[in-house]
A = this chain, B = another copy of it.
């Protein structure tokens, strides 16, 4: 299942992702049913708690739809917890340099390579592996590029062995570059940063991910992004509700 994702990228395909912030497996199940090839549980800004994150993993991981976890913080206990529970990938926020990435990778690998504690309780159930090397190879690892510091050390970050791609957090990156939110994807300095990230990833065969929306998706795909978050469960409700109220002239 996870290898399917890697093959997609290898074949040049774009993977569209849905972002989960509502604490319920039901909204997650609806997004998987709608056809999304991957989902991401947002443990940073989302309202999803720890037991519900596990329920979502329980619910989705038999559907051939890999579930990523976006961490609240790049720390080993949180990384190991997500992986033991069957997360197919990790999106790590606020990475500032190669040391942060090395810490991420080390938390996913068993000794002597890394520092991960062995206890793949749900991994065998979710992904059918238990052998340490197989367990360690499983998760798709994506450090986030969303600070000016990370941009300065972009090549060093991308050179750390063990990662599958980089994932852009546009709002944080924009603020960190002194640019506004809501993000202006067309602002030249922002666009330059995006192009640079795509280029660095391409040179190394890494996937390039970004949090986006349906309006900007085609543009970002054209720019070279191949892992694009196009919906957020809460936004779908909010935008759909506002549109419905407008449609009946009630807002």
Contact = CB atoms under 8 A, between A and B. Distances in A.
Contacts of A171: 118-119
B245 A121 contact: no
A111 B241 contact: no
- Of A46, A58, A125, most B-chain CB atoms within 10 Å: A58
B58 A119 contact: no
A226 interface: no
Interface stretch (A49-57, A159-167, A189-197, A201-209): A49-57
B244 A46 contact: no
A221 B248 CA distance: 9
B250 A241 contact: no
A131 to B, nearest CB: 8
Contacts of A148: 111-112
A172 B247 contact: no
Nearest to A18: B241
Interface string A112-137: 10010111011011000000100000
Given A59-B59, A117-B169, A47 B217 contact: no
Interface string A217-250: 1100100000010110110111111111101101
A152 interface: no
A110 interface: yes
A251 interface: yes
A23 B51 contact: yes
9 contacts: A18-B241, A26-B122, A44-B80, A44-B81, A44-B119, A45-B117, A58-B59, A59-B59, A231-B240
